[in-house]
Chains A and B, each alone.
Chain A
Amino acid sequence: MKSDRELINSEGKRSDGRGPHDLRKIKIEAGVLHRADGSCSLEWGGNKVLVAVYGPREAVPRHVQNPLKAIVQARYNMAAFSVEDRKRPGPDRRSVEISKVISEALEKVVLTEQFPRASIDVNIEVLDAEAGTRCAGLTAAGVALVDAGIPMRDIPVACAAGKIDGKVVLDLGKEEDNVGDADLPIAISPRTGEVLLLQMDGHLTIDEFNEAFDLAVKGCHTVSEIQKKAIMQKYQSAAAEVQE
């Protein structure tokens, strides 16, 4: 779909005032829920997601158990009121697919061989949606897994790049996602640069893809720092409480 509006103005600014390589505002808080083993609330532009991790615990039903390692079961769910027109509650084809690719991405970094037959459940609730919810969900899941004390090789992080008005930009907003030319969400293990999740829709030349990919990786590293800060903050305040 082509936009009749300019998505990037003559000064190179996008419709929400960002430059082409700017992220939306991100706020992360770890350990926000009482019952969960680990949790994280994350705001990314107009997105609000909440993630709770339960486990490792016995995987049920039995037939999903793996005798050699744990399974990671992510469940991505959108609240009925999180989008413009009310979404019917419960899983649809889109959320089942997103749950699957996020589960697979997380399984790569979790040391699953330590917990045979167990399940690590990652519940991602999208409370307010505005383009880029899977990246927000996966990023929050990384923090919640740390908060739950799940042993991992790295803290997974996600970010998207895309193409609007023929230019490669970082982190598409709502309108840019709807009328832009391409969207490329990726998740990486920031320590090694391994790609854990990659999806693309739209139209990119090889050069544009390379540019967008590098930009998204750069975005991931920036978000990764925010993740670490949130985790440090949680444990510093916990340590301060113990000292009192």
Chain B
Amino acid sequence: MTVVPIIKRDYITKLAEQGKRIDGRGFDQYRTIEIETNVVNKAEGSARVKIGNTQVLCGIKMDIGEPFPDTPKTGVMSTAAEFVPLASPDFESGPPREDAIELARVVDRGVRESQVIQLEQLCITPGEKVWLVFIDIHILDYDGNLFDAASLAALAALLTTKVPISRFLKDLDEKDRASWQQRLLDLYTIPGVDVVPFGAEEVNKNAVQDFPLPMIEPPISCTAVKINDFVLFDPCFDEEIIADARLTVATDHNGDIRAMQKGLSGSFTREEIQKVIKGALDNGQEIRKKLNESTGK
């Protein structure tokens, strides 16, 4: 560790002992969150999320391609994160480093495992043609807490995504079109899915109109770090680089936990974990409200 983080660590822990943080926030308080959607015309869906000075842009592109052989009836999603050198003096160009891969995988898991995108509804002709969903995350300005900013940007972008069927119609033959029509008619009766996906009504109306990506209510991730014995939510850059441990908790609209990820070499006690879960629930609710407002859901 170079000298600057040591000085900062000293300063941050001294403040924490007085119950304060460097930017004047409470321990479990987030910085101001701004969500702006439809910021990229060329993308099927896009969102720019600001958490304080951290800025992340997410764009969704869609294409038609082959499904994986073991899941012939489900669409395919893939997530990539670029730590472009624009965002920080420490980011370099070149192939993604391990932290970019970890970020992309955590965001991917958050979306995939909770089945936020109803991938089984993105099948056109089983075994031959399905929709591909590409989630690309661009870090624009790095001032800490990329996990929350990137997941939120991905969700906001997905919630405003329109499936570009009108652009791809020419690539579908008669069989594909008939099969796709049937899939749309089946939308309400998919076994095991009791939540009506966003936009299902619009899908049924017309098979050739662009329609919202079928999705269910997403879980929201909230991250806290531990510095000495203090638990701080939404760490800014200076707090993040000196943190001992990090914990991300994703909670859904019912108040249940949907995903967790601990990072860094420090440890948490049982009580501290409870504290993070409580904070994640409270902040998650606020963030969910903001997400729904900005995406019109």
Contact = CB atoms under 8 A, between A and B. Distances in A.
Interface string B23-55: 000000000000000011111101000000101
Interface string B55-88: 1010111010000000000000000101011111
A52 B63 contact: no
Interface stretch (B133-141, B215-223, B257-265, B280-288): B133-141
B141 A89 contact: no
A50 B46 CA distance: 16
14 contacts: A33-B87, A33-B140, A35-B89, A48-B39, A50-B140, A77-B93, A80-B136, A81-B46, A81-B134, A82-B42, A84-B42, A91-B93, A123-B84, A128-B41
A46 interface: yes
Interface of A: 33-36, 39, 46, 48, 50-52, 54, 57, 75, 77, 79-86, 89-91, 121, 123, 125, 127-130
A48 B42 CA distance: 11
Given A81-B134, A89-B136, A128-B43, 19 more contacts: A33-B141, A35-B142, A35-B237, A39-B86, A50-B140, A54-B85, A54-B89, A79-B82, A81-B42, A81-B44, A82-B42, A85-B61, A85-B63, A86-B63, A86-B134, A89-B80, A89-B82, A125-B140, A127-B138
Nearest to B40: A128
- Give chain A's interface secondary structure class: loop
A235 B46 CA distance: 31
Nearest to B58: A81
Interface of B: 39-44, 46, 53, 55, 57, 59-61, 63, 80, 82, 84-89, 93, 95, 134, 136, 138, 140-143, 237
A86 B61 contact: yes
B95 A46 contact: no
B174 to A, nearest CB: 24
B141 A36 contact: yes
Contacts of B53: 34-35
A48 B87 CA distance: 16
A121 B90 CA distance: 12
